[in-house]
Amino acid sequence: MQPRKSAGSVGALIGAILTLALLALFYLGWTIIGLPFVPFNVFDWTSRVLPGSLITLGIDSMVRLIRALPLGDTATAAKTAEQTMAIVGFLAAGTAAGAMFFIVLRVWKGQPYLAGLGLGAVAGVTTLLIIRSLHQPPAVKAAFDNTWILTAFLLWGAAFSWTYERLSAIGLASGDVVNRVQVERADRRRFIIRLGGATAVLTVAGAVVGPLVGSRRTGSETERVLEPAAMPLPNADALVKPVPGTRAELTPLESHYRIDIDTVPPKIDEKSWRLRIGGLVDRPLELTLEDVRRYEPMDQFITLSCISNPVAGDLIGTARWTGVSMKRLLPDLQLKSNATHLKIRAVDGFYETIALQTIDSDERVMLAYAWDGVPLLSEHGFPLRIYIPDRHGMKQPKWIVSIEATGAWEEGYWVARGWDKDAHMKATSVIDAVAVDMMIGEATSNTLVPVGGIAHAGSRGISRVEVQVDAGEWREAQLRTPLSGLTWVVWRYDWPFQAGKHTLTVRCVDGNGRPQIVEEAPPHPSGASGLHRKSILL
């Protein structure tokens, strides 16, 4: 071996190579038989223990970067970024562990195999503790997962020991004194290249075989859920037609945004799932999904928005939700007289509290189990999620597993991390399209240029939308009949053609007569505000 500096650099290289192999092994286990993918688990745990202010800064920075580049739809790009950071972070930790391992053994002169097994054991046990703090799977699966993770880390640690021994042997077996350094370096380089090649084979196998097997395993589910029931929209005959380029009035299921606290969505087995109801109740209760479906169903067209959505962002969508009104469900929960709130928990550790008064006063609060006539997609909360009118998505848990009746309000997951206590949706209007190629008539002063977009204000509806060109007067736009009182409104303004460069601005008034907030504010802590503008050249 070379001096300490060289030992550290060689150890870092070996650490990167062996950790890549470990990553590939975990990936194969995850995609083929559903074992934990450790880098994602560690990243999810880190996001829970870091200060809320730091997490908020990361979220806001990520959204701004995605929109500035741009990198496609925000929800998908954000999840890809999170997963990339998880993998890179895991690889960096393994690289650092390799450097420290080689440096310590170079100084300590101890037993490499004991040191390697010790490194693997510490890493494995620490990982198990992290994963169990996130989820508590059934006992049989937990035992199998634990065995897999611990074995993989022990093999990883043993590989460090074997590699160190092999490199040390190469150094000691060199020839005469004059050529010793050159021979040692050549042999070491050949060994590292061979080790890297073997690791590359395993890594490629994980990257290619894993997705192929995983897609066959989950393909039937995807085919089942992406076939929404065809039905006419309630406003199909509305006189005002959307301007071409305006976002779809009903968001396709596969395009609805997804923001949650895990790198990958939980997958819940319907047969074993139970909704557990406890706390201040006369007796604990468990409901199957079929039990929930037996209640009289209700359908609602709903627009849901993420509180991190900037003005004119894409973290918003509209779907037809199906479920049961919580007001209808309450009598069967047998709540005690001192119960005032329900604490709703999700399988991923997310939680939120809702007042019983809110449920009693609004029958639209619902436990939803379907979108557009099909079961919720796994990534969107299957088997059960809640809808609370006029609130951002941060108040609405998915993958619900329990409801606890309590006697006081408690901070929800994101409220405890510095976000708004109420998270009311603000009145917002957006310009989606200026359809220059759809101008009505010749390009003269009599030509009309269709301009369109959406406006929304939670459950309060929209009473008015106005458009301003440059510094001119505000002109009222036409409003298309919305899908319901809970959805965005599509608006249209046929603007008289004016050659040159122009800036169009839009504003709205909610159904209660309150105008849109014009002062610009970032998403944190209460949702973004400000007017949306679009510049064009005619």
| pLDDT tens-place string over residues 316-362 | 999 999 999 999 999 999 999 999 999 999 999 999 999 999 999 99
Handedness of CA 68, 73, 79, 84 (dihedral sign): negative
Q: Mean of the pLDDT values across residues 412-436?
A: 95
CATH architecture classification, 256-417: Alpha-Beta Complex (3.90)
Which pLDDT does position 176 carry in this prediction? 39
How would residue 173 be classed by pLDDT, with cut points 50, 70 and 90?
A: very low
Cα–Cα distance measured from residue 382 to residue 224, given in angstroms and rounded to the nearest whole number: 13
Q: Mean of the pLDDT values across residues 206-221?
A: 45
The most confident of 14-18, 180-184, 361-365, by mean pLDDT: 361-365
Is the CB of residue 516 less than 8 Å from the CB of residue 427?
Answer: yes
Query: Vertex 14, ends 11 and 15: CA angle to 5°?
Result: 80
To the nearest whole percent, how much of the chain has pLDDT over 70? 86
Q: How many CB atoms lie within 10 A of CB 533?
A: 13
Cα–Cα distance measured from residue 354 to residue 342, given in angstroms and rounded to the nearest whole number: 5
pLDDT at 441 over 90: no
pLDDT at 219 over 60: no
Listing from the earlier edge strand, what are the strands of the sheet with 400-406?
A: 285-287, 275-279, 400-406, 341-346, 351-355
Domain ranges of the chain: 4-222, 256-417, 428-537
pTM given for the model: 0.86
Establish how many alpha carbons lie within 13 A of residue 294's alpha carbon, considering only the half-sphere containing its beta carbon: 6
Q: Mean of the pLDDT values across residues 526-533?
A: 97
Tell me whether the CATH fold assigned to 256-417 matches the one assigned to 428-537: no
CATH architecture classification, 428-537: Sandwich (2.60)
Q: Mean of the pLDDT values across residues 262-286?
A: 95
Please indicate whether residue 211 or residue 474 has the higher confidence score (pLDDT): 474
Cα dist from 23 to 14, 88, 196, whole Å: 14, 10, 14
Please indicate whether residue 520 or residue 205 has the higher confidence score (pLDDT): 520
Chain mean pLDDT for the chain: 88
Which pLDDT does position 106 carry in this prediction? 83
Residue with tokens 């199957």: 288
pLDDT at 218 over 50: no
For 223-249, what is each residue's pLDDT tens digit?
344 445 567 899 999 999 999 999 999
Residue with tokens 């925000």: 74
Q: How many CB atoms lie within 10 A of CB 228?
A: 16
pLDDT at 21 over 70: yes
Which pLDDT does position 19 carry in this prediction? 95
pLDDT at 24 over 60: yes
To the nearest whole percent, how much of the chain has pLDDT over 90? 71
Nearest in space to 33 (alpha carbons), one of 308, 217, 183: 217
Count Cβ atoms within 10 A of the Cβ of residue 537 and give its class: 0-12 exposed, 13-18 middle, 19 or more buried: exposed
Q: How many CB atoms lie within 10 A of CB 491?
A: 30
